[in-house]
Amino acid sequence: MFDAANKKDLLEYWNNLDSEDRENVIEWYNIAEENLDDDDKILLADLIGNGQFSYWDCPNCGKKVLVGYPDNWDRFQGVKQSETAGKLCEECAGIYYKLKEFVED
């Protein structure tokens, strides 16, 4: 998947990530940090480096939203993927859609 030089660069990138970025992608990946191996770190570093992971606080309730966009989901089964509507979290999006349906009826 990654050549040796690329793996080294990705591990270095992982080690230099902002702690907030690292904590959020680990939470999304749904694994304890102490259980991450180098392959996991390389995979997550590549995801972040390619702009395929985002997180934010819902502007309505403040709940953290975690969203990944990997090209291939094979290694990402069991992640905590947030369902969203724009920047809204899953709960607020559900309320939004219920209200929208009510208004449109």
Per-residue pLDDT of the chain (105 residues; tens, 9 = 90+): 566 679 999 999 999 999 999 999 999 999 999 999 999 999 999 999 999 999 999 999 999 999 999 999 999 989 999 888 789 998 998 887 787 777 776
Q: Return mean pLDDT, the chain.
A: 90
Q: What is the dihedral of CA 28, 55, 90, 41, to 10 degrees?
A: -10
What residues make up the domain containing 94?
4-104
Buried b (16+ CB within 10 A) or exposed e, 90-100: eebbeeeeeee
Q: How many CB atoms lie within 10 A of CB 15?
A: 10
The torsion angle over the Cα atoms of residues 65, 69, 74 and 77, rounded to 10 degrees, is 10
Rounded to whole angstroms, how far apart are CA atoms 82 and 64? 9
Tally of domains in the chain: 1
Q: Which among 17, 16, 42 is positioned nearest to 29, based on CA atoms?
A: 42
Please give the Cα distance from 2 to 43 (Å, whole number). 9
